[in-house]
Structure 1
Amino acid sequence: MRLTVHHSHDVLPLWQESLSKLLQANKLTIEEAHTLGEWHVATFNDRVVGLAISSGNELRYFAVRDLTRRRGIGRYLLADTIRWLIAEGQQQVTMNINSVTETEQAGLQAFLRQAGFHAANDTAWTLSL
């Protein structure tokens, strides 16, 4: 199987368990995540390995399963989500990282910097498209 990003709220039954594990790390349920915006679901071998949620030009949620990190999944998910946002007419992407745990912040900041984002302030990061 190959890594695929699905831009949809539709959750296949075989994705339920892996999606729940991904969201549990951030104390979210599938129902709560549905209210955040448009879903960009990364799957590999019929399992959810990453999820980005956007609303307008804001990335409201971004996570990759800890077991699958450092394999390019986050880069692929972010790039495909950005392509989708460009197709939707967005000219900038913002992400607020204040809800990210302290232990994850440095890694996320390095990831965003590598992807071309710039820190607008202590918690807001932006990328011009």
Structure 2
Amino acid sequence: MRLTVHCLEQLPAIHRHHADIILQGRALPEQAVFYLATFNDKAVALAWRQQERIDFIAVRDITRRRGIGRELLRQIRQEAQAAGLTRLDCNPAQAPEEQRAGLAAFLTSQGFSTQAGLLSCCLDK
């Protein structure tokens, strides 16, 4: 099977167990655009966006460094651009303290730059 990124209004019950592993105790918001990356029908990455702000993005620790985060972010960018957004912001402080530097490095490698304490990227037209 291949990696699939789903854009959802809510997470399906079938993926809740693996999503909970990714969330590491963090609660899901009531409303957001959710992005769930699955491989072999198992959730391997999760993100959510509210308008131009990515509030959460994480890849399961056992599946990192395989391009999953890059594909997840590509899909988020594509969907945000289709929704008429011109930029995306992400605050690495949303991640657990021990993962913040890694998240900031990942986002920077994907074209985000520091803007007023946030990491931001412009979406191509």
**After TM superposition, is the score higher than 0.5?**
yes
Partner of 1:12: 12
Deviates more, 1:43-52 or 1:101-110: 101-110
Deviation at 1:83, TM superposition (A): 0.3
Alpha-carbon displacement from aligned partner over 1:93-125 (angstroms, at most 9, x marks no partner)? 001122322321221111011100001144x11
User: What percent identity do the matched residue pairs reach?
Assistant: 34
Is 1:89 matched with 2:84? Answer: yes
Counterpart amino acid of residue 110 in structure 1: A
Q: 2:36 aligns with which of 41, 58, 75?
A: 41
Equivalent residues of 2:9, 2:32 under 8 A apart: no
Equivalent residues of 1:36, 1:53 under 8 A apart: no
Is 1:99 matched with 2:119? Answer: no
The TM-score, its normalising length taken from structure 2, stands at: 0.90
Counterpart amino acid of residue 99 in structure 1: Q
Equivalent residues of 1:39, 1:53 under 8 A apart: yes
Equivalent residues of 2:8, 2:35 under 8 A apart: yes
Alpha-carbon displacement from aligned partner over 1:39-94 (angstroms, at most 9, x marks no partner)? 01100001110011000000011011001000000000000111000000000000
Partner of 1:126: 120
C-alpha distance in 2, partners of 1:49/1:75?
13
Partner of 1:108: 103
Secondary structure of 2:93's counterpart equals coil
Equivalent residues of 2:56, 2:94 under 8 A apart: no
C-alpha distance in 2, partners of 1:74/1:114?
11
Partner of 2:47: 52
Across the two proteins, how many residue pairs are aligned to each other? 123
Secondary structure of 2:85's counterpart equals coil
Partner of 2:63: 68
Secondary structure of 1:71's counterpart equals coil
Deviates more, 1:113-122 or 1:88-97: 113-122
